[in-house]
Amino acid sequence: MHLSTVCVGGTPITPHSGERVGAHSFHLREATPSKTIVTLEKVLGITASGNSGLACDPRSGLVAYPAGQQNHGHLPAVRLWDVAERRQVAALQQHKYGVSCVAFSPNGKYVVSVGNQHDMMVNVWVWKKDVVMASNKVSNKVTGVSFSVDSSYFVTVGNRHVKFWYLDPCKASKAAAPLPLLGRSGLLGELRNNFFCDVACGRGSTSDSTFCITSSGLLCEFNGKRTLDKWVDLRTGVAQSLSLSEDMIFCGCADGTVRAFSTVGLHFACTLPRPHLLGADVSAVTEAR
């Protein structure tokens, strides 16, 4: 599998032609003639199973991802890396079988990790203390997670699954053990049989809303009462991902198609031009045909 572009914290990273995604590149630096230090130069592929397995804290620039085998890992860890310093700052170990999703809270205090279909646990970490603040089990495979802008709750999505999880930091700080995480299911209505593959909590004027996308090609909006408020058909065979700004929603669809909608009313804005083929050198084009 090849990726044309990966976004980390809003910054696109594009592999060069001929580079293989899934390989690791290391750079050797000699501190002294008798000692060699290995530092991480760049990563072209990681052990995350999808977009939801990679998260970046917009405040600090820290990157979180699940390490180890996704399906049969032994005590898999969520590793946090300081990209600027090129060092690991935390390794969060609580899951038993694998991690599929990770996310930072906007205030930078918490990391949520969701286990894969064999693990089925949701953990909320106070990552600087390496402590699980709250946890609970899920009954469905989770493929996406997103925090609210005020960090008071987060939302998980999956097969016939949209669930809102609420945090209580004051109560958790007084507890000697992780508290049961309070979860409330979204009211899916007539879309209850859909596979919800990605989620993003609203910002700005739509901070009370939660936007989800289904694999069948529906863009959905849930209101502050967890009720499905409206949805639109993306007119695509398959939809896979979405990205959100304060006023626009970008939906990743089949065949490299990206459709844009306004966050208010879900009005269609445009379809973005498709990217050039991986490996194509656009600078070498001399004339249009």
- Give phi and psi for 254, each to the nearest 5: -65, 155
Distance CA 45, CA 199 (A): 23
Tell me which DSSP letter residue 170 carries.
H
Count of CB atoms situated within 10 Å of the CB of 141: 17
Distance CA 145, CA 156 (A): 4
- Residues found in the chain: 289
Count of CB atoms situated within 10 Å of the CB of 81: 19
Distance CA 131, CA 92 (A): 8
Place of tokens 């209505």: 189
Over its C-alpha atoms, the chain yields an Rg (Å, rounded) of: 20
Give one DSSP letter per residue of 197-249, joined into a string: EEEEE--GGGTT-EEEEETTSEEEEE-TTSBEEEEEE--SS-EEEEEE-SSEE
* Tens digit of each residue's pLDDT (9 = 90 or more) over 177-236: 889 999 999 999 999 999 999 999 999 999 999 999 999 999 999 999 999 999 999 999
Q: Which domains does the chain have, with CATH numbers?
A: 48-284 (2.130.10.10)
Distance CA 87, CA 183 (A): 35
For the range 36-43, what are the long-range contacts, defined as Cβ-Cβ under 8 Å and sequence gap of 24 or more? 39/86, 40/86
Structure tokens at 263: 């966050």
What pLDDT tens digit does each residue of the chain (289 aa) get? 333 443 434 444 444 444 343 444 434 344 445 456 666 666 655 666 677 889 999 889 999 988 865 444 677 899 999 988 889 999 999 898 889 999 999 999 999 999 988 899 999 999 999 999 999 999 989 999 999 999 999 999 999 999 999 999 888 777 778 899 999 999 999 999 999 999 999 999 999 999 999 999 999 999 999 999 999 999 999 999 999 999 999 999 998 899 999 999 999 999 998 877 777 787 776 665 5
